[in-house]
Amino acid sequence: AQHSYDPQRDLSFKMFQNNQNVVLIYGSQTGTAEDLAKRFARELHLDFNAQVLIVDPELYDLESLSKISPDHIAVFLVSTTGEGEPTDNMAKWYEALIGEDIFTADFSDLELPSFVDPTEESDFSGDYEFDTELPLANLNFSIFGLGNSTYEHFNLPTKQLTKRLRSLGAKLVGPVGLGDDDVNIDDDFEKWTGAAAPLIAKFVSSSSTGIDSSPNKYEPSFIVKELDILPIDASIGSVRPEILENASSINISHVDSKHPWYCLPLNSKVLTHTSSERRIIHLELDLDNINLPYTTGDHVALFPTNYETQVRLLLNVLNLDGSKPISLSFSPNASDNKPFPHSISSYSSMLRHYLDITLPVPKDSIKHVLLPYARSEPAKAFLKKLIDDKDYYKNIILTPVMSPGELIQNIHTIEKKEAVSDDLKFNFTFSALIDLLPRISPRYYSISSSNLESPNKISITAVVLNYKTPNNINRYGIATNYINAIHDTLSNPDTNSDIIFTSDKLSYCLKDTRKHSSNNFAIPIYIRKSTFRLPSDPSVPIVMVGPGTGIAPFRGFIRERFYQAKNSIPVGPTVLFFGNRNESKDFLYKDELLESFAALSSSNKNSKVITAFSRDQKEKIYVQDRMTEHSALIWDLINNQNGHFYICGDGKTMSKDVIATLKRIAQNEGKLDETRASSWFTTLKNTNRYAEDVWA
């Protein structure tokens, strides 16, 4: 290591100081792994009496792993992002351990026994060559990965980390958990903790730190204080005063998932017809005052605001005055070690902007945080049944996608029905609520503008999510309904929306009244680099397949090529396959696409937009059907002219069907057998001429 020793960055020192025997290290991008870490720490502490340190690897030195006591244990909770990449907060450790060549490691020998009990004389490091760079012979570790099997590199960081740590001499305790978000990551996590927690506990129980045999009791991590007036700096975290004071001189490298930029919405429009079943919104955001660089094809992450119905419900069931100014501080035995990143001013602002108040409460949180507050028998029985009876939990919580506020309301209703006396009534606190709920997570959107054409503004193309549960309850996607409310408010500032914009966020944008005096709200975002890129040479042919909101990045690609063509730069053949339900209602960006393609095709007859409207006729017609009709063109552009092929949108079925069609085109047009068509496709990928931007 090149840097000097800093005890604050030494996790073994921290463990020693705090008398802890387990360290939980999380690689988290949008907060899920961070939340699992918080929950697992609680379980290890309350059910197994372990003393747990939670660690964000960005704040610690990797080298300190080698100094963890041999009778202690490190638990990794590792999310996958992008195309099988580690999260930003894990990136430094990962690069040092694995190197840059992350996709080439071979996992054929990662045949792990499903249960490893290190207290029984087993040495699983024997098969691997020992690497003395970072001696980890003393390290014991457990690992759970968060991934999605829709993606090609499923849980790659977890597999690579496991392999690498073992090659450095570390010993694996318990099964390697490969959580799959495509199915149900909470179920996978529960299975894994069920197996891993007792092994971890057994392992550290012999440690010199010792384990207190008296059972631990749940205590909230935060102390909430009500104040009479709002303090000037109500923050407990990294408020960024420099943003307020001097926007133009901000070091832009500071804008990341932990430090979002508050940008102003410029304008928006609905892309679908009013009679369409789906509402798709185009929203433009201003980067003018920060000069935040982005590249066409990047993603923007947006932190949404919760809708008021759920905010009010929680205030109601907790009997709180939302406008009351509050301050937060850590309690001495906090299991959560992370402050909320911006200034907190009131109960309402916390519920609107910082906590996820809609995700169903997982079973372990019911057990560890809600149950301790149940004093009446009916409440205890209800919560215990949710914890113990899988089907009951599914029917009551999961199927109706019950929010935390509704769950607490349910407890109250049960107690009312059973005439529970006031002194025994369920009396939940706001500090416990902070522990119960995850932080609100940012949502990603494929940027639908071109940085060449509009370097100072980005656009989003989002479909508003509304659905009915099987028992007929309406549910709303948080971020897309936030976007919807932004649109409604921009079009009519007097709109009565279920989302309140006046908030802490307001203070950031009030300083920037240059052009936006009518808009009094700002949207926290950051930009995440992607690998979804146009060819560096604009004359290279491209074929894009993007049904529905899959059009988003291609709108950026097309605007870029249109802009280049207008500026007399030679642009190669540009083909877009776009699909949606009905031509008259759902032809997104119709006018501008037709305009762009009129220009592009005047210099290149192969440039065209080819549409597939699935519901305009009896039989479904999808983009892949149109691809088949245009097989010769696709083969010519991609194979003969070395073009690039892109897919964006639904990763569950569409992208797989499109890939299968592309391979069939290779078989038919290139006269390749199935095996050779597959290796043709692999070559396309390996030469960076195939890229996908898909989401589950």
Residue numbers of the site for ligand FAD (CB under 6 A)? Answer: 299, 304, 401, 443-446, 461-463, 465, 467, 477-480, 549, 552, 695
Q: Which does 467 bind (CB under 5 to 8 A by kind): ligand FAD, ligand 2AM, none?
A: ligand FAD
Cα distance between the two ends of the chain: 39
Cα 356 off chain centre by:
13
Q: Which does 620 bind (CB under 5 to 8 A by kind): ligand 2AM, ligand FAD, none?
A: ligand 2AM
Binding ligand 2AM (rule: CB under 6 A), the pick from 309, 413, 653, 687 is: 653
CA angle (37 as vertex; 36, 39 as ends), nearest 5:
65
280 belongs to the binding site for ligand 2AM (CB under 6 A) = no
Distance CA 510, CA 487 (A): 20
User: Of the two residues 304 and 643, which places its CB atom closer to ligand FAD in the complex?
Assistant: 304
Q: Which does 445 bind (CB under 5 to 8 A by kind): ligand FAD, ligand 2AM, none?
A: ligand FAD
Distance CA 158, CA 355 (A): 27
Q: Environment class of residue 208 by beta-carbon count within 10 Å: exposed (0-12), middle (13-18) or buried (19+)? A: exposed
657 belongs to the binding site for ligand 2AM (CB under 6 A) = yes
User: Of the two residues 300 and 612, which places its CB atom closer to ligand FAD in the complex?
Assistant: 300
Residue of closest CB approach to ligand 2AM:
548
Please, what is the minimum distance in Å from the beta carbon of residue 548 to ligand 2AM? 3
581 belongs to the binding site for ligand 2AM (CB under 6 A) = yes
Please, what is the minimum distance in Å from the beta carbon of residue 557 to ligand 2AM? 18
Binding ligand 2AM (rule: CB under 6 A), the pick from 394, 416, 620, 685 is: 620
Contact yes or no for 220/430 (Cβ under 8 A): no
Q: Which does 405 bind (CB under 5 to 8 A by kind): ligand FAD, ligand 2AM, none?
A: none
| Phi and psi torsions of 671, nearest 5° | 55, 45
Please, what is the minimum distance in Å from the beta carbon of residue 660 to ligand FAD? 22
Q: Which does 404 bind (CB under 5 to 8 A by kind): ligand FAD, ligand 2AM, none?
A: none
Q: Which does 622 bind (CB under 5 to 8 A by kind): ligand FAD, ligand 2AM, none?
A: ligand 2AM
User: Of the two residues 262 and 622, which places its CB atom closer to ligand 2AM in the complex?
Assistant: 622
519 belongs to the binding site for ligand 2AM (CB under 6 A) = no
Please, what is the minimum distance in Å from the beta carbon of residue 188 to ligand FAD? 15
Site string for ligand 2AM, 31-50 (x = CB under 6 A): --------------------
Please, what is the minimum distance in Å from the beta carbon of residue 629 to ligand 2AM? 14
Distance CA 48, CA 642 (A): 59
579 belongs to the binding site for ligand 2AM (CB under 6 A) = yes
Please, what is the minimum distance in Å from the beta carbon of residue 400 to ligand FAD? 10
Q: Which does 655 bind (CB under 5 to 8 A by kind): ligand 2AM, ligand FAD, none?
A: none
User: Of the two residues 50 and 463, which places its CB atom closer to ligand FAD in the complex?
Assistant: 463
Residue type, 50: A
Binding ligand 2AM (rule: CB under 6 A), the pick from 202, 312, 615, 626 is: 615
Q: Which does 548 bind (CB under 5 to 8 A by kind): ligand FAD, ligand 2AM, none?
A: ligand 2AM
Please, what is the minimum distance in Å from the beta carbon of residue 63 to ligand FAD? 33
Distance CA 578, CA 546 (A): 5
Please, what is the minimum distance in Å from the beta carbon of residue 247 to ligand FAD? 27
User: Of the two residues 502 and 653, which places its CB atom closer to ligand 2AM in the complex?
Assistant: 653
279 belongs to the binding site for ligand 2AM (CB under 6 A) = no
Q: Environment class of residue 124 by beta-carbon count within 10 Å: exposed (0-12), middle (13-18) or buried (19+)? A: middle
Looking only at residues 282 through 341 of this chain, which bind ligand 2AM when binding is defined by CB under 6 A? none
Token digits of residue 425: 């009534």
Distance CA 465, CA 482 (A): 10
584 belongs to the binding site for ligand 2AM (CB under 6 A) = no
Please, what is the minimum distance in Å from the beta carbon of residue 672 to ligand 2AM? 23
Question: H or E stretch including 529?
Answer: none
CA angle (136 as vertex; 135, 139 as ends), nearest 5:
155
Contact yes or no for 404/314 (Cβ under 8 A): yes
Q: Which does 573 bind (CB under 5 to 8 A by kind): ligand 2AM, ligand FAD, none?
A: none
Token digits of residue 271: 């892309």
Q: Which does 401 bind (CB under 5 to 8 A by kind): ligand 2AM, ligand FAD, none?
A: ligand FAD
Neighbours of 385 (CB within 10 A): 12
623 belongs to the binding site for ligand 2AM (CB under 6 A) = yes
Distance CA 1, CA 51 (A): 29
User: Of the two residues 234 and 458, which places its CB atom closer to ligand FAD in the complex?
Assistant: 458
Distance CA 442, CA 582 (A): 31
Please, what is the minimum distance in Å from the beta carbon of residue 88 to ligand 2AM? 30
Contact yes or no for 311/433 (Cβ under 8 A): no
Token digits of residue 18: 């705090």
Cα 569 off chain centre by:
38
Distance CA 429, CA 412 (A): 14
Distance CA 109, CA 163 (A): 9
Distance CA 120, CA 171 (A): 12
331: alpha, beta or left, given left = phi > 0 and alpha = psi -120 to 50? beta
548 belongs to the binding site for ligand 2AM (CB under 6 A) = yes
Q: With CB under 6 A as the contact rule, which of the stretches 240-248, 369-377, 491-499, 612-620 interacts with ligand 2AM?
A: 612-620
User: Of the two residues 154 and 218, which places its CB atom closer to ligand FAD in the complex?
Assistant: 154
Contact yes or no for 532/553 (Cβ under 8 A): yes
Distance CA 55, CA 27 (A): 9
Tokens 């057994």 identify what position? Answer: 202
Neighbours of 673 (CB within 10 A): 8
User: Of the two residues 302 and 623, which places its CB atom closer to ligand 2AM in the complex?
Assistant: 623
Contact yes or no for 113/59 (Cβ under 8 A): no
User: Of the two residues 6 and 629, which places its CB atom closer to ligand 2AM in the complex?
Assistant: 629
Contact yes or no for 557/534 (Cβ under 8 A): yes
Q: Which residues bind ligand 2AM (CB under 6 A)?
A: 547-548, 579-581, 614-615, 620, 622-624, 653-654, 657
